[in-house]
Amino acid sequence: MPQPPFPNESPEYREARDRLLEAEAALRQQTEDVAALRRNLPLGGPAKEDYVFDEIGPDGGVQKTKLSELFAPGKESLFLYGFMFGPEMKAACPLCTSMLDGLNGNAVHISQRMNLAVVARSPIQRIQDYAATRGWTNLRLLSSANNTYQFDYLAEDEEGNPWPMANVFVKRDDTVHHFWGSELMFKQYEGGDMRHVDPIWPLWNVLDLTPEGRGEKWYPALDYGS
């Protein structure tokens, strides 16, 4: 498909844009190549245990749900995000909140193909109350207050500090296996933030398209006032 020009663009703009377009095409191919490597990972280790989480049931009460029970029939993959909202934190992480705002909007679509849930170590009612203030009606919310999932799967350190770790689990022959984790968080990046979950975060991807970019010191806030 030939590349048509934009109205009133200069030759200098088109030359620079064509160079950028080649780089964008190369990045697209690299993204596809990395996705193929990810899909072709060998099966990870079996889950350390069939963790029991707390969640709010259909009747409004707290119910116990095992890791293995997070897999709906016919859906063998589970994306489980470690939400930084520990019991000692006065407020939820603004960055996690921003990302989950966007994920909530896409959860209905994602859930057509796979299982999706969010877990934090705060009591489930505290998580649910916070979710209500954000309008998170599409996210399955879990509490790991009574298990070691967060620590075992790198969403919490030895001091109990939470980390924004995303993990994918798969079920094979009734056994849950770890498949992938956002370990890029632990790979040093000279640019500062690890950007390990940026591919699923609309905020930064949109800002990256602008002359201003992300900014060096700007982060999303929990509230922007009225």
What's the mean pLDDT in 64-84?
97
Q: What is the pTM of this model?
A: 0.92
From residue 63, give the alpha-carbon distance in Å to each of 50, 66, 203. Answer: 15, 10, 34
Q: pLDDT by residue (tens digit) across 2-45?
A: 778 899 999 999 999 999 999 999 999 999 999 999 999 999 99
List pLDDT tens digits, range 138-197: 999 999 999 999 999 999 999 999 999 999 999 999 999 999 999 988 888 877 678 888
Q: Which CA distances in Å does 189 have to 60, 114, 185, 210?
A: 44, 31, 9, 22
Alpha-carbon Rg for the chain in angstroms: 20
In this structure, is residue 81 part of a structural domain? yes
* Mean predicted confidence (pLDDT) in 64-78: 97
pLDDT reading at 1 higher than 70: no
Q: State how many domains the chain has.
A: 1
The verdict on residue 103 lying in a domain is yes
Q: Is 199 within a domain?
A: no
Burial 20-37 (b: 16+ CB within 10 A, else e): eeeeeeeeeeeeeeeeee
Cα 195 to chain centroid, rounded:
11
In a domain, 125, yes or no: yes
Q: Is residue 69 part of a domain?
A: yes
Q: Classify each residue of 103-133 as buried b or exposed e, where b means 16 or more C-beta atoms within 10 Å of its C-beta.
A: bbeebeeebeeebbbbbbbbebebbbebbee
CB atoms within 10 A of CB 141: 20
Q: Could you tell me the residue range of the domain that residue 122 belongs to?
A: 52-183
**Does 204 map to a domain?**
no
CATH of the domain at 100: 3.40.30.10
* Digit-coded pLDDT (tens) for 153-170: 999 999 999 999 999 999
Look at residue 225 and tell me whether its pLDDT is greater than 90. no
Q: Give the mean pLDDT of 42-63.
A: 97
4 in any annotated domain = no
Calculate what percentage of the chain has a pLDDT beyond 90: 83
Q: Per the domain annotation, does 43 fall within a domain?
A: no
